[in-house]
A and B are shown apart, each in its own frame.
Chain A
Amino acid sequence: MFDTAIETLERDDFCSLAPIGWLHHKMQDAFFLVVGTQSCQGFLQTALGVMVFAKPRFATAVLDEDDLSGRDALTALLPLARTVVAEHAPRAIFLGSTCTPEILKMNVSGCAPAIERETGVRVYPARMDGFDASYTQGEDHVLQAMLARTPAGGETPNLVVLGCLSAIEEAEIRLECAAMEIPEPRFIPAESALDLAPVGPRTVIAPVNPYLFDATAWAKRERKATILSAPFPYGPDGSRAFYEALGAAFGRSVSYAERERAAWASLEGELTALRGRTIAFASDAMVELPLARTLRAAGARVPYVGTPNVYRKFHAPETALLEGVEIAERPDRFATFAKLTEHAPDVVVANLNIANALEGMGFAVKWSTELTFQPIHGFSGAQSLFAMFAATLRRHDALAGHRAKAGSETHPISMDFFLESHR
């Protein structure tokens, strides 16, 4: 879709192990055992370790020379899994396979049944490499592994809400389902890694995160489940469309038009700050499409959206609402910078990799990582969602205003500045 991008050039993204950050927080009885290099370990430590060091529920099985030269994976892994079970007593282990095992064609997932048998602890094997997947797709593959262990669905229609949510986001969906008198939703993941709802031909799966393509495709293919196709529940517009589609999936004709109108009305403060302002997305976490859609509905201009992967059919409900927006799939770093310069947006949404660099160039940046771990789903999350963008604009304008009033010059930012040892 973006033919000038170089496939093997930097795409400024996190590793797919990053979702362990929110998944291990959600599932308190799970342990994440990652099979990889010292670099995987370094990433987990740098990205997640500082905050949770006191009792980490993740570790890396670091490959050594013997593993690289073809030692049997199970022989090497089993003792480590036993240690994890002995020291941490998890009720489930997620066995994450990373880039190096893929290159070595090491059958990490094949070890899962034997480890489960030997330790008596459920083992979910999940591919968490980052060759082409967006970092958030680590969650996609973890949930796919969980779906594969769900009991078969029965005759009664049921609802599975798929995607990692906070308790407060779950509560809204639960209450709305009750109001529509449709089946009570079960959530995957739930608070226990062993809590799995049945999935079968009478199951409706409602993905709430826009990066759950593989998991939903699996449930459709293998369990003949129905996948809800609707805009994702971000913003009043997306929430309305999501709940109306959810009702329709169970034969209820419900209208959330009034609810949506009231929601927008209560957002007036944020909307005033956003109306007419230009917001562009650097490719990051695959949440870009629905956020661009709801920001447009809020009155912002969104000329450009970079995003790691667009799945034509899965994302169709979103792309249908993004007419006139230039969508770039998998842009490289330089392509991203060229587009941002061209569009000169008031706010850029970007990964930490390039966020400070963009600020240095004079852009106001909303760092994107927050958008994947803050509770911003649903009607009840809309305030937080739009407030983040409004706050970025307000702060940028305020700082510039204060500096101008003081007659203080903004000094140019260059590499020399950061290397100058007398700074």
Chain B
Amino acid sequence: MKLAIWSYQAPAHVGVSMCASSINGVHTVLRAPKGDGYATIMLAMFERLGVLPPLTINALTEGTLAGAPADLPRVLREIDARVKPKAILVTRSATAAVLQEPLDGEFGTMTPGELGAEVIFGASHPVRDNETTAFALTLRQLVAHVAADCARTETPSVNILGPALLGFHDHSNVRALRALFAAIGVDVNAVVPLGATVDDLRTLGRAWLNVSLVHERTAPLVAYLRERYGTPSVDALPYGEAGTTRFLREVCATLELPADRIAAAARESQLGWYARTVDAHALSTKRVAVFGTPTTAAGIARVLHDELDMRVEWVGTYVREYGDWLSARVADVTGRILVTDDYREVAQAIDETRPDIVFGSQMERHAASAHGIPCAVISPPAHILNFPLSYAPFVAYEGANYLADVVNRTQVLGLEHHLIETFGPRGQGRFAEQAPEGLDEPAVAAAEGAPQWDPSAERLVGRIPFFVRKKARANIEKYAREQRLAVIDERVVLAAREHVGG
């Protein structure tokens, strides 16, 4: 056993669900205790999914402990009839894997052709794989399962691989990449898995080139497509203005297209100009640390170093399998690479180096805030705030602009700093951090004849969550005044709640 408080990655079955749920027409059946269904809640809440997530738990029950079968055929029939998916992916969580139930045996008792959907048993391992490796294996498996021979498209085209539901700014990233390819006259053959249909998976071989948005999710698929169809892939990452230009050069070179369209497309970016503006001059003195998924860490560290001339203290990732890949990408950016999935090591590195800005996941935001260091979230695991409704890409020329805004937001600008020094920091902090203190102060100086708070009542009100406490206090005092009560005790607090709420 190992003591775990916080992990960067979700268990394997969440990676499987993220991948499969992103494909239109694929439904996942997860053999698991019902509690493992929180992947459903993540889909429902983070993605604000206003439909039933295409993920159903085939629940372990007390009956299972007594030897009852999974009843998989009945569950499959129910989903086939009600959801009508093209394919059903059957997988298990770690708990179910311990049981070693013969799910394929149960499926074998069904009449061939009985279901409208094709049934696929997931290849990832519920215990050994993590969120990332399970995602990558599932993506490769689903494509390999349906891939058909096909001819190349007549004009140059690409597949965009890796974006998914619950991915980091993936909806915006896909939109930005689509715009980028449109600008240089290259068609997008398919986006996989986000929004792909099963037919799209069948015809990935039509594309001339594969580009990956999230390297660690797509490496097995890219290798498969290269082997099966001989499709080349792009190595450069489309982060930053210069980075995106480098990416497009590689795309054009591979597709044997003239590179003269790039310059027009690049006019979309203001990052290069922003870096030259006087406001940004101070960035050269800023020491930064970058930690996240291999792709985001590599892409963004390069931009901060190459295009904004910031001092990169260290770069790291928690996806250990891609530590070397990351290291090779940023060897000239920093002398220190941190590969660990223990958040305490990362927090310690932040504590030791005290960078001016941290670029990391939600976890680093916590760690950095302990030292008052600003943190831009550039990687999952993320908060619901990192699932924006608006267009907020991190890749391509539009993404370069957005990244410049992100950097900008971490800055306390010169004049602002001066004002804070002059007038004090009150009101500068985030509300949530200051509110408890502020609201804990004794009631506003008692006006003549105002009701007095009895200590027992004070204690009771002290237990009300701080964010509603002020309103509750006001309601109680108003009630006491109306009732012409001189003293507020516990009874008055309760009576006030009863009559005016709060």
Contact = CB atoms under 8 A, between A and B. Distances in A.
A384 B32 CA distance: 36
A37 B11 contact: yes
Most buried by A among B74, B362, B463: B463
9 contacts: A38-B4, A42-B7, A84-B3, A131-B61, A171-B460, A383-B500, A383-B502, A384-B497, A418-B48
Contacts of A67: 1
Contacts, number: 252
A1 interface: no
A14 B44 CA distance: 14
Contact of B490 (A62, A175, A423): A175
A130 interface: yes
Interface stretch (B110-118, B171-179, B237-245, B324-332): B171-179
A266 B499 contact: yes
Contacts of B60: 8, 99, 103, 131
A13 B41 CA distance: 10
B94 interface: yes
B20 interface: no
A257 interface: no
A416 B24 contact: yes
Interface stretch (B63-71, B263-271, B282-290, B443-451): B63-71
Interface in B1-37: 1-7, 10-11, 13-14, 22, 24, 32-37
B52 A103 contact: no
Interface of B: 1-7, 10-11, 13-14, 22, 24, 32-38, 40-42, 44-45, 47-54, 56-65, 70-71, 74-75, 78, 82, 93-95, 98-99, 127, 163, 165, 170-171, 174-175, 178, 191, 194-195, 362, 366, 383, 459-460, 463-464, 490-491, 493-495, 497-502
Contacts of A382: 498
Contacts of B82: 334
Contact of B493 (A65, A129, A171, A337): A171
Given A104-B98, A357-B53, 5 more contacts: A15-B35, A41-B5, A42-B10, A62-B1, A359-B50
Contact of A353 (B37, B65, B165): B37
Interface string A21-52: 00000000000000101111111011101100
Contact of A37 (B95, B464, B490): B95
Report the 4 A-B pairs with minimum CB-CB distance, sorted nearest first: A15-B35, A360-B50, A383-B501, A419-B195
A194 interface: no
B195 A64 contact: no
Contacts of B11: 37-39, 42
A6 B1 contact: no
A408 interface: no
Nearest to A332: B78
Contact of A63 (B1, B71, B495): B1
A260 to B, nearest CB: 11
Contacts of A54: 366
Given A42-B38, A167-B460, A419 B22 contact: yes
A167 B463 contact: yes
Contact of B95 (A41, A99, A419): A99
Contacts of A381: 497
Contact of A379 (B13, B42, B498): B498
B496 to A, nearest CB: 8
Given A10-B37, A43-B35, A167-B463, A383 B51 contact: no
B494 to A, nearest CB: 4
Contacts of A419: 22, 24, 165, 194-195
A83 B493 CA distance: 43
Nearest to A384: B501
Interface string A101-135: 01110000000000000000000000001111001
Contacts of A223: none
Nearest to A131: B62
Contacts of B463: 166-168
Nearest to B35: A15
A150 interface: no
Most buried by B among A62, A333, A421: A421
A59 B502 CA distance: 34
A167 B460 CA distance: 7
Interface string A362-383: 0000000000000000011111
A348 B56 CA distance: 21
Nearest to B491: A175
B38 A38 contact: no
Given A9-B59, A10-B57, A357 B4 contact: no
Contact of A8 (B7, B44, B71, B93): B71
Contact of A39 (B3, B93, B495): B93
Contacts of B3: 59-62, 80, 83-84
A9 B175 contact: no
Contacts of A65: 127
A108 to B, nearest CB: 11
Interface string A394-423: 000000000000000000011111111111
A63 B5 CA distance: 14
Interface residues of A, number: 91
B1 A35 contact: yes
Nearest to B195: A419
Contacts of A244: none
Contact of B75 (A8, A129, A357): A8
B219 to A, nearest CB: 22
Nearest to A352: B41
A415 B35 contact: no
A392 interface: no
B6 A49 contact: yes
B268 to A, nearest CB: 17
B49 A356 contact: yes
A17 interface: yes
A357 B1 contact: no
Nearest to A83: B3
A130 B62 CA distance: 9
Contacts of B497: 168, 380-381, 383-384
A64 B494 contact: no
A16 B463 CA distance: 26
A152 interface: no
Nearest to B36: A39
B99 A103 contact: yes
A43 to B, nearest CB: 5
Contacts of B495: 380
Contacts of A40: 35
A92 B192 CA distance: 50
A366 B50 CA distance: 15
A383 B4 contact: no
A193 B490 CA distance: 25
A8 B191 CA distance: 35
A355 B218 CA distance: 33
A263 interface: yes
Contacts of A47: 38
B51 A360 contact: yes
Contact of B42 (A15, A46, A49, A99): A46
A172 B373 CA distance: 45
Contacts of A64: 1-2
Contact of A333 (B54, B56, B61, B93): B56
B98 A103 contact: yes
A398 B36 CA distance: 36
A65 B98 CA distance: 10
Contacts of B5: 41, 45, 56, 58-60
Interface string A316-360: 000000000000000001100100000000000000111111011
A356 B70 contact: no
Contacts of B459: 167
Given A354-B52, A387-B501, A419-B195, A103 B44 contact: no
Given A39-B36, A63-B1, A418-B49, A172 B41 contact: no
Contact of A10 (B34, B42, B178, B195): B34
